[in-house]
Amino acid sequence: MCRGTTSCTELGTDVRTWSTTSPLVPKEWFLEAFEAFQEARRAADEGDVESALRHLERTRDRDLNEWFDEHAQNSGRFRAMHFGLEPKPDVIDKDPVKTFASIERQLMERDGYTCQYCRMPVLPGSEFTKFRDQVGADNFPTLGTNSQRHGIKLVFSGTLDHVEPHSRGGRTTPENLATCCWPCNYGKSEYTLDELGLSDPRSE
C-alpha cells in the first residue's frame, strides 16, 4: 500500500529508472486487457451479453483498479515529494475557459485515441456508458468511488490534458491540449513537465 507514504513501490525511488514520458509506466499486460474489453464491446454490440461478460472477465478488473487507485493517480505527487517541490499557488492570469467538451472528440481523433504520455489506447466516456447500459451496471460499474468502478473504466478513460497546467496559466487551446488517459492526467496533476521530469508530448 502506497497511500500515506512518501514513495511508491511501482515508481521506485531511483530517478534513473523513471520514465521521462509518462508519470508511471503501464504494465505490459494492459494492452491484452484492453483488447479483451474490445472483444467484450464487439460482443455486446451484437447483442451477445453472455460472451461480452466472458471477455470482460479477462480484463483483470481488480488489478487495474488497484494499480490506478494506489499508484498511478498519485505518481506525480510521489515525484514531487522526491524533488522536494512545494505546492504552487494558482496564477492570477488563468484562462477563463477551462472546459473543452466541444473539441474533445476532435482532438482525440487528432491524437489517434492514444494517450500522448504513456501511449496507451483510450476511449471517450460515452463508450463506457454505452457498454454499461448493454451489460448492466452491476457487471460494469462506471460510477461511484474508485474502488467501486471497473478497472477498465479507470485506466482506459480518455480526457484532454492541459500540457501546461490550467492552474499555472496554460491555455485551453488545441495547441495546449493533448489526449490523455486518466492515470497520466491524475498523475501529472497540476505540476509542470519540468517539475516532474517529463518530456513534452507535443515534441514527439
Q: What is the mean pLDDT of each run of 10 residues along the chain (204 residues)?
A: 76 92 96 98 98 98 96 92 77 82 95 98 97 98 96 98 93 97 95 93 81
* pLDDT score recorded for residue 1: 62
Domain membership flag for residue 12: no
Domain membership flag for residue 3: no
Domain membership flag for residue 4: no
Q: Nearest CA to 110 among 20, 23, 177? A: 177
Domain membership flag for residue 2: no
Q: Nearest CA to 151 among 13, 29, 5? A: 29
Distance, in Å, from the CA atom of 111 to the CA atom of 37, rounded to the nearest integer, reads 21
HSE-CB for 30 with a 13 A CA cutoff = 21
Range of the domain at 184: 21-203
Domain membership flag for residue 150: yes
Q: Which amino acid is at 163?
A: V
Beta-bridge mates of residue 177: 162
Beta-bridge mates of residue 181: 158
* pLDDT score recorded for residue 89: 65
Domain membership flag for residue 193: yes
* pLDDT score recorded for residue 145: 94
Domain membership flag for residue 7: no
Domain membership flag for residue 90: yes
Cell numbers at 165, concatenated: 497546467
Distance, in Å, from the CA atom of 119 to the CA atom of 155, rounded to the nearest integer, reads 12
DSSP H or E run through 177: strand 177-181
Cell numbers at 104, concatenated: 474533445
* pLDDT score recorded for residue 94: 84
Query: Do 107 and 179 form a contact (C-beta atoms < 8 A)?
Result: yes
Domain count, the chain: 1
Query: Do 197 and 19 form a contact (C-beta atoms < 8 A)?
Result: no
Alpha helices in the chain (DSSP H): 30-45, 49-56, 61-66, 75-82, 104-110, 125-135, 151-156, 182-188, 193-196
